Structure 1
Amino acid sequence: MRSIVFTSLFAAFATCTPTEVEADVVSYDGYKVFRVTTHGQTASVQETLSALPHDEWAHDIDHVDIAISPDQVEAFTALGLDYHVMHENLGNSIALEAASTTSWKRQADDPSWFSSYHSYQDHIEYFEDLQATFPNNSELITSGTSYQNRTIYGLHLYGDGGPGKPAVLYHGTVHAREWIAAPVVEYITLQLLQGYETGDTKTFLDKYDFYVFPIVNPDGFVYSQTTNRLWRKNRQPPPAGQTCIGRDINRNWEFAWNANGQGASTNPCSETYKGVKPSDAPENASLDGFLRKLRDSVGIKLYIDWHSYGQYILSPYGYSEDVLAPELSKWTATSSQVSNAIRDSSSRRTTFTYGPSGATLYITTGSAPDHVYSIGGADYSYTIELPDTGDYGFVLPPAQIRPTAEELWAGQKVLLGLLEQ
């Protein structure tokens, strides 16, 4: 008997009826994206940029990445900052990203799947096809539904002896515009299934149950494909009296949700808006409920929150740069080996930086890895920020999907082999 009862996925697909009336498509024609080198003075550079309308994509101690509309480019260059151009015309880059040179044959092992980006419905069908190739050791699952009633779908994989072993839990596409996350998670899932037949991954699946959710923010993801390529949050209406849509579901977890005045915003118009209270985003509430079922039934061995971009392997804590978890030395040693495996797996020599999230990158409160470790009891809990480090950012060309997925699978093989250490 299975130890956990999950909602029927097929019924959820049949009743999915999003209600949102789409807005006009947002154009990024003529927008430029710059990486501004801050020389360790990131806060000062951000203050300089604050008077200029812009969209900040990412930052760390050495740089800030920003998108600038055509009418603000002259004002930006007049600031005299040290920068290089990531996208000369963001609209053109988005158009090239959407172009597909291959046709998926609706076969789970068709490599052309990893040659282009796909629609939400295609992702659902891909996971259905994956499950059909491994019918005796897998099941389609869901944690629940989004605000617009889309299914948060996934796949549960297990080996000999049936389900009920400690869990490996993956969440992808937490932030809508981070398109590379879903195909990377899907590639890892495909390798687990194919490797089981050859024996390469049998040890992993016989020891752990895998719960894989490639798109946990489906409303935002669909909106990023149909209306605004750079949308980040979910599509939940704002609190009364406010006008900006969406919550950041990676600032909406219960643990450390209100730990300090940093790491998340109380402004509904902010990209990091944390909501009115913990788990008031329906996506977060359903994922948290699923997490607690795993915790109480089989326990959680490994959790990974898949994001882009920047090439980081980040462990708790995110809510503070000073508070260190007791397991940090173990996590850091493991991350080092994973980073080395990724770097050595291909000629690209892709390098991942690793360490505790708050100290390595920046403060985040109400984040998933902190919550899954502290509330969910996970032995290992990470955020992995996928490529790249400043050439493309969120708009990663389709030609980089498969190389990225292959490198991350090399890292996962090492990570899964180290879990008992």
Structure 2
Amino acid sequence: MAVLRVILLAALLGLCLGKKRYDGYKVIRVTPGDDFQLRSIADLKRGLEDKVDFWAEPSHVGKSVDLMVAPFDVDSVQDLLAVHGLESTVTIDDVQQVIEETSPDRPDNLAALSNFRYDQYHSLDEILAWLNDVQGEHPNIAQRIDIGYSLEGRKLSVLKLGKPGSSKPIFWLMSGTHAREWLSPATQLKMVDLFLTGYGSNSEITNLLDKMDFYWMPIANPDGYEYSRSNDRLWRKTRGKTSSSWCTGADPNRNWSDHWDDPSQSTYACGQTYRGLSPFSEVCVDTVAKYVLGLSNVQVFIDMHCYSQLWMTPYGWSTSLPSNYQAQKNLADSAMAALKAVNGLNFQTGSIAGILYEAAGSSVDWAQNVAGIPYCYAPELRDTGYYGFLMPESSIYPSANEVFAAIKVIANNFV
């Protein structure tokens, strides 16, 4: 009891200081061995949504499920799993310790582009300053475009990268949709650097930027991202109003209009996958959708997430497949072969519902069905759960190098 009082006191102190702490929180892994166990975990998820944050949700037999559990709920959750015949192991013993090891708290450093640290996680202000510097130092191929503002008044910004020209195919890449997935924007920033340093000296990169326009959106959910930095490292959603006076934010990857009203969508306002009050109720989602619809000749749409090492295609709302699914998968397979050649990591390919779980209202389903973009991907970057959402900064360069190899394969298909 004394230990519990200390943990509770630390949690309350953290709230008073403005940043949520996860002292004693554990990540538990359970792997369903058959359909019955899979259904049991899915049933438990519905009953445990207030107690458990599912880092990796139940999807398929043999695919691990990761649950973050508060210290005072660990025993009861493990007992409940055991009652259903499910063996569990602890993969992260103290989440707060990992946060402190992998998420250093630094003051903003608005350094010039030549001194920008691509091997660190950055604030939104630092990223916006970086966008300005990229445009200033590479005016022949780079243009910063502010497409609107978030609910809380933060700029929604895009970097257009490519040699000026008309009717060029467009490659759209966004990241930071889910606030806590810091590796995705950091990976994107370093990939931009690889394009910049290669232009004019590397024939492949020069050819790609001469013949294709790349639109990079590092932070698609700036309010949530900044909240994950200032208040709660594991915050996932936006910061908008919900149907509950107690809970804030919707899942920006369940808020797109395509199959938003699907029965599988979560209407639980406090849940991590809450769909929002209406399609495009989240300002950041609505702004991005309108901007993408205003572009011509978009051939590729990528919304980068982490973690799980997957490279997924539509659909999320159903196990049915788009008419060009095989072409999308074939290109993804080629890209993943190039990715693996860099660091040896395996990424599984397939549809969202086919290899992960059903998720309606997603960006890539909308991009395929509404925007009519032929090649749409939702990558889940490294790792497979050792760090999960808390990837250390030492992972940024390896992630960027391997994903860059994949991006080049996909882009070369259109030039």
- TM-score, normalising length: structure 1: 0.87
- Whether the 8 Å CA contact 1:358–1:364 is kept in 2: the answer is yes
1:150-190 residue CA offsets vs partner (Å, 9 max, x unmatched) = 0111211121x435522111111000000001011111211
**Which residue of the partner structure matches residue 350 of structure 2?**
355
Superposed displacement of residue 30, structure 1: 1.0
Query: Does the 8 A contact of 2:108 with 2:126 survive in 1?
Result: no
CA distance in 2, matches of 1:165, 1:217: 28
Q: How does 1:270-349 map to 2 (within 5 A)?
A: 270-294=271-295, 298-321=296-319, 323-346=320-343, 349=344
| Alignment partner, residue 261 of structure 1 | 263
Distance 2:92 2:98 in 1: 7
Partners of 1:163 and 1:271 in 2: how far apart? 42
Asked whether the 8 Å contact 1:31–1:89 carries over to 2, the reply is: yes
Residue aligning to 2:195: 192
Identify the match of residue 30 of structure 1 among 24, 39, 43: 24
Identical aligned pairs, as a percentage?
31
Give the C-alpha shift of residue 138 in structure 1: 1.8
Q: What displacement does 1:50 show?
A: 5.5
Supply the distance in 2 between the matched residues of 1:103 and 1:144 (Cα, whole angstroms). Answer: 23
Q: Does 1:225 align with 2:226?
A: no
Relative to structure 1, the CA distance from residue 109 to residue 373 in structure 2 (aligned partners, 3 Å threshold; closer, same or farther) is farther
Q: Secondary structure at the match of 2:294?
A: helix
Aligned to 1:179: 182
Unaligned runs of 5+ in 2: 1-15
- The verdict on how the C-alpha distance between 1:237 and 1:101 changes in structure 2, with shifts beyond 3 A counting, is closer
SS of the residue corresponding to residue 229 of structure 1 reads coil
How many Å apart are 1:282 and its aligned residue?
0.8
Residue in structure 1 matched with residue 254 of structure 2 by the alignment: 251
**Partner of residue 85, structure 1:** 90
CA distance in 2, matches of 1:183, 1:109: 17
Give the counterpart letter for 2:338 in structure 1: A
Asked if 2 retains the 8 angstrom alpha-carbon contact of 1:27 and 1:91, the reply is: yes
Residue 419 (str. 1) matches residue 414 (str. 2): yes
Alpha-carbon distance in structure 2 between the residues aligned to 1:67 and 1:270: 14
SS of match in other structure, 1:351: coil
- Cα distance in 2 for residues equivalent to 1:103 and 1:341: 35
Aligned partners of 2:102 and 2:395: how far apart in 1? 10
1:230-282 deviation line (CA, Å, top 9, x unaligned): 1111001224x643111111111112212x311x2122112111122211111
1:404 and 2:406 aligned: no
1:44 alignment partner AA? S
How far apart, CA to CA, are the structure 2 residues paired with 1:49 and 1:362?
A: 13
* Aligned-partner Cα distance in 1 for 2:411–2:33: 37
8 Å contact from structure 2 (residues 27, 68) kept in 1: yes
* 1:308 CA displacement: 0.8
Give the distance between the partners of 2:316 and 2:140, measured in 1 at CA: 39
State the Cα distance separating 1:143 from its structure 2 match. Answer: 2.1
Whether 2:148 is the aligned partner of 1:129: answer no
Comparing 396-405 with 101-110, greater Cα deviation is found at 101-110
CA distance in 2, matches of 1:95, 1:131: 34
The offset of 1:414, in angstroms, is 1.4
Q: How far 1:51 moved relative to its partner?
A: 5.2
The match for 2:159 is 155
Distance 1:50 1:289 in 2: 34
- Tell me the secondary structure at the aligned position of residue 140 of structure 2: helix
Displacement after TM superposition at 1:109 (Å): 5.1
- Please report how far the alpha carbon of residue 28 of structure 1 lies from its aligned counterpart in structure 2 after TM superposition: 0.2
How far the C-alpha of 1:48 sits from its partner, in A, is 4.1
Q: Counterpart of 1:15?
A: none
For the 8 Å contact 2:250–2:282, the answer to whether it is kept is: yes
Q: Deviations over 1:178-218 (max 9, x none)?
A: 00010111112112222212133121112211111000100
* 1:97 corresponds to: 102
Distance 2:154 2:341 in 1: 39
**Correspondence for 1:5:** none
In structure 2, C-alpha distance between the alignment counterparts of 1:365 and 1:167, rounded to whole Å: 25
Residues 100 and 116 in structure 1, CA contact (< 8 A), matched pair in contact too: no
Shift in CA distance, 319/103, structure 1 to aligned 2, threshold 3 Å: closer
CA distance in 2, matches of 1:105, 1:151: 17
Pairs aligned (count): 388
TM-score computed with the length of structure 2 as normaliser: 0.88
Secondary structure of 2:345's aligned partner: coil
Kindly state the Cα deviation for residue 365 of structure 1 after the two structures are TM-superposed. 1.0
Match of 1:238 among 223, 236, 242: 242
CA contact (8 A) 2:103 2:390 kept: no
SS at match of 2:131: helix
Measure, in 2, the Cα distance between the counterparts of 1:49 and 1:136.
51
Which whole-Å CA distance do the structure 1 matches of 2:263 and 2:110 have between them?
50
* Structure 1 residue matching 2:378: 3-state secondary structure: strand
Query: Which one-letter code corresponds to 2:56 in the other structure?
Result: A
Which of 142, 146, 149 is the matching residue for 1:138? 142
* Structure 1 alignment gaps of length 5 or more: 1-21
Change (3 A) 1:293 1:73: same
What are the residue-to-residue correspondences of 1:52-63 with 2, within 5 Å? 53-59=51-57, 60-61=59-60, 62-63=63-64
Greater displacement, 187-196 / 390-399: 187-196
